[in-house]
Amino acid sequence: MAKVLILDHSKSVRNILRERLEYEGFSAEAVEDEATASDMCEKVPFDLIISDTGCKVPDAGIPFIALSADASVDSAVEAVRNGAQDFLTKPIDMNRLMQSIHRTIENPAPAPAAPAPVVRRSRRARPAEAEHIIGISPEIEHVRQLIDKVAPCEARVLITGENGTGKELVARWLHAKSSRAAAPFVEVNCAAIPSELIESELFGHERGAFTSAIKQRKGKFEQADGGTLFMDEIGDMSLAAQAKVLRALQESRISRVGGDKEIEVDVRVIAATNKNLREEIKKGNFREDLYHRIGVIVVRVPALREHAADIPTLVDHFVRTISAEYGARPKPVDPAALEALRQMPWTGNIRELRNVVERLIVLSGERITARDVKEYY
């Protein structure tokens, strides 16, 4: 199975591309910044990178396709000069992209030894601050109030809720409203890292600690020093890794893999899970002592079906923000289309709603109709 890395500052572009690539049978990883992309390229033998022209593609000799919101000849020339094998404009024509991917993977041209850095920043670079939490239902209001209460204290927080409900957004706000806001917010997805790499990912490694450790590297705990470490999908971490995290939390010290020095770290951990950790403890999959360490305060983010009253406000918000990302005028949404959207089960929660709205913006005509919703949901 060909492996593709998606590098784009926009979460919605990453989500839509990853979904489509996985649907087409590729293995796809999506990252938002160059540093993570470089890291991933050291670990995973990607066959192809798809990157926004506003991002610098890692110099790993992997063929890449450039995407840009700027359709000018100049930006196409610039992308190709920087080593891109193809150049497509946004909004993305998925069929063209698929053809381009197959062409590039089947006939990779030799990548230039060291592609020159792309200098132009994307017009749609992700804002440093967290996106707003949209919704006026009592359920969302309750989450907002909890954030305001909990953010200023140093307590560790466990955020629970189904996939796509907004757990990461809540974590970003807990950081943004804390006294650590000026320090880094570092995210680690515990489910995405193979168990043999998690220790080095979290605690870093010294040069020569293992065969591929060609240089010393700081782990996520050190990167988050003074700030917040968001450990997403903590329920998926192996028991061995849990033991190491517990030690780091108990002692506020870590040591890099292959190193004997203890390094003090000042990190507030915010964890998230879509699992019922009490059940996982009963099954022997999660350490009870770690649960008590991370879950001093639990914030439960409701599923979208529990606050369906927010769907019209969320749809309006996504229509406006996604259209702005595409540089297009927001399309009107028919009341019947809105009603149809309200009726959907939304098992993928707000992430799914956002993706459906993006699909509707790309695929509908002048306005978004109930028929479009039926066809593209």
Note the residues at the interface with ligand ATP (CB under 6 A): 11, 131, 133-135, 140, 161, 163-169, 232, 274, 350-351, 354
Round to whole Å and give the CA distance between 288 and 368: 49
Cβ nearer to ligand ATP, comparing 64 with 346: 346
Neighbours of 56 (CB within 10 A): 19
Cβ nearer to ligand ATP, comparing 91 with 161: 161
Q: Which amino acid is residue 121, in one-letter code? A: R
Cβ at position 169, least distance to ligand ATP in Å: 4
Cβ nearer to ligand ATP, comparing 166 with 219: 166
Cβ nearer to ligand ATP, comparing 11 with 177: 11
Cβ at position 274, least distance to ligand ATP in Å: 5
Cβ nearer to ligand ATP, comparing 133 with 246: 133
In the chain, what is the straight-line distance between the N-terminal and C-terminal CA atoms, in Å? 28
In contact, 337 and 372? CB cutoff 8 Å: yes
Cβ nearer to ligand ATP, comparing 267 with 315: 315
In contact, 258 and 219? CB cutoff 8 Å: no
Cβ at position 341, least distance to ligand ATP in Å: 15
Cβ nearer to ligand ATP, comparing 17 with 213: 17
Q: Are strands 204-205 and 217-218 parallel, antiparallel or unpaired?
A: antiparallel
Residue 237 in tokens: 């971490």
Round to whole Å and give the CA distance between 300 and 322: 27
Cβ nearer to ligand ATP, comparing 163 with 323: 163
Residues sharing a CB contact under 8 Å with residue 237, sequence separation 6 or more, in sequence order: 190, 191, 198, 231, 245
Round to whole Å and give the CA distance between 65 and 50: 5
Task: State the residue number with the nearest CB to ligand ATP.
Answer: 166
CA distance to 19, 241, 294, 352, 364, per residue, from 16 (Å): 5, 31, 32, 10, 16
Which stretches does DSSP call E strand in 168-261?
185-189, 204-205, 217-218, 228-232, 253-254
Cβ at position 133, least distance to ligand ATP in Å: 4
Cβ at position 149, least distance to ligand ATP in Å: 18
Q: Using omega within 30 degrees of 0 as the cis cutoff, is the peptide bond preceding 345 cis?
A: no
Cβ at position 232, least distance to ligand ATP in Å: 5
Cβ nearer to ligand ATP, comparing 161 with 219: 161
Cβ at position 12, least distance to ligand ATP in Å: 7
Which stretches does DSSP call E strand in the chain?
3-7, 27-31, 48-52, 64-68, 84-89, 157-160, 185-189, 204-205, 217-218, 228-232, 253-254, 263-264, 268-273, 297-300
Cβ at position 317, least distance to ligand ATP in Å: 6
